[in-house]
A = this chain, B = another copy of it.
Amino acid sequence: MAEQFKTPMLDELEKGPWPSFISGFKRLRDDHPDKRINETANSLLGQLEHSYETRKGYWKGGTVSVFGYGSGIIPRFSEVADTFVASKEFHTVRVQPPAGNHYTTDMLRTLCDSWEKYGSGLITFHGQTGNIMFIGVDTENTQKFFDEINEYGWDLGGAGPCVRTGMSCMGAARCEMSCADEQQIHLRLMNNFTDDVHRPALPYKFKFKVSGCGNDCQNAIERSDMAILGTWRDDMKVNQTEVKNYINKKSRQYVIDNVTTRCPTNALTLNDDDTLTVDNKNCVRCMHCLNVMNKALSPGDDKGVTICIGGKRTLKIGDLMGTVVIPFKKLETEEDYESLVEFAEDIIDFWAENGLEHERTGEMIERIGIANFLDAIGVEVDPNMINHPRQSSYVRLDEWDAEAQKWFERKKAA
């Protein structure tokens, strides 16, 4: 190996009990049988130490992709490759994980094998959009690595203005709160848009995230253009025996202070006989009481999803949360799932045609107004979409009567 770079600052990150990524890099530098990997790790450590010293990054972008795709690789070229030669091309391969991030150890080892053949030996489980990030491969090996893992079932995720890799929570696999088949929603949506994942041709990125309930363990509302959250619309299930058990264990006061008082809509009453009454009309499925008393309380049977559209972070009009566009949608039959996919298509199509360059769905909605957006995608308004009706009288009401009529007709039809 060439000169071993000194890393006094990074060495500080080997101290302390938390697993050290620097120690991992050093293992690759010092212990790996493949010299290419040793050198790459050494070079990477050198460049990173240089960043720590100067407090600056030294990577720049470029264009790298695999044959047939326009996205999925984050190209990185070193600006200090003269000194840190072995890591001068250090691209990331974004690979879509299985829905729910389940793995067998066998499969992980197989992926390690392929990656050690071509890449740096560094893998991130997972990036914030959910991809497995194989970090550090040169341009030539990018294609080879991809070809090899693509053969045994792995495909690239998104990058650039395209549909991005989706995320879904553990959910039905190991969680009693789950009101949805997260796996199926995730797969159906992602695999309907495979083309849009691989070939960036949209105004900007579009992200799906699926959480099985309002706890939103995927931060879907805040982080995705289309957030799908499980919920139910019949009555919550109350096991009164377990309610009593819980009270016996924790005390009445504990239940009052931590359960009934914390309900955002005062929908819970602890009765004198230690039974719990739920005002199901006012329960907004926030999940709090179920979280605290998960043995006693469970979601109802009439399950489905709430869909929020338009979440994203700061650029360029400030953070946006997704907002309710579909208060409730059943997902049971084949047709239900098909119509979910169609709904996503309608949104993406409309946005593809009407979004400005670099404009996310949320920003587009902000620009054209939620009412126009709903009109465009053919969704009827519903008071569940709002915190409260308009506070400003600055509005054209020419069509009031016609719109009122629509409401009455829908009510009649229902």
Contacts and interface: CB of A to CB of B under 8 A. Distances in A.
Interface stretch (A231-239, A298-306, A390-398): A390-398
A389 to B, nearest CB: 14
A349 interface: no
A311 B266 CA distance: 32
Interface in A371-414: 391-394
Nearest to A260: B261
A318 B393 CA distance: 8
A319 interface: yes
Nearest to A319: B391
A362 to B, nearest CB: 15
How many chain A residues sit at the interface, stated as a range, is under 10
Interface string A310-326: 00001000110000000
Copies in the complex: 2
Nearest to A316: B394
A394 B315 CA distance: 10
Contact of A314 (B266, B318, B319, B394): B394
A270 to B, nearest CB: 12
A392 B319 CA distance: 7
Contacts of A261: 261, 266
A318 to B, nearest CB: 5
A61 to B, nearest CB: 23
Contact of A392 (B266, B318, B391, B394): B318
A314 B395 CA distance: 12
Contacts of A314: 392-394
A394 B391 CA distance: 26
A363 to B, nearest CB: 14
A318 B261 CA distance: 36
Contacts of A393: 314
A250 to B, nearest CB: 18
A224 to B, nearest CB: 19
Contact of A394 (B266, B318, B394): B318
A393 B314 CA distance: 8
A313 to B, nearest CB: 10
Interface in A316-348: 318-319
A266 B392 CA distance: 32
Contacts of A394: 314, 318
A393 B318 CA distance: 8
A320 to B, nearest CB: 11
A316 to B, nearest CB: 9
Contacts of A392: 314, 318-319
Interface string A138-167: 000000000000000000000000000000
Contacts of A391: 318-319
A392 to B, nearest CB: 5
A261 B261 CA distance: 8
Interface in A256-301: 261, 266
A392 B392 CA distance: 24
Interface string A244-262: 0000000000000000010
A336 to B, nearest CB: 37
Contacts of A318: 391-392, 394
A261 B319 CA distance: 33
A262 to B, nearest CB: 10
A318 B314 CA distance: 25
Closest 3 CB pairs of A and B: A318-B392, A314-B393, A319-B391
10 contacts: A261-B261, A261-B266, A314-B392, A314-B393, A314-B394, A318-B391, A318-B392, A318-B394, A319-B391, A319-B392
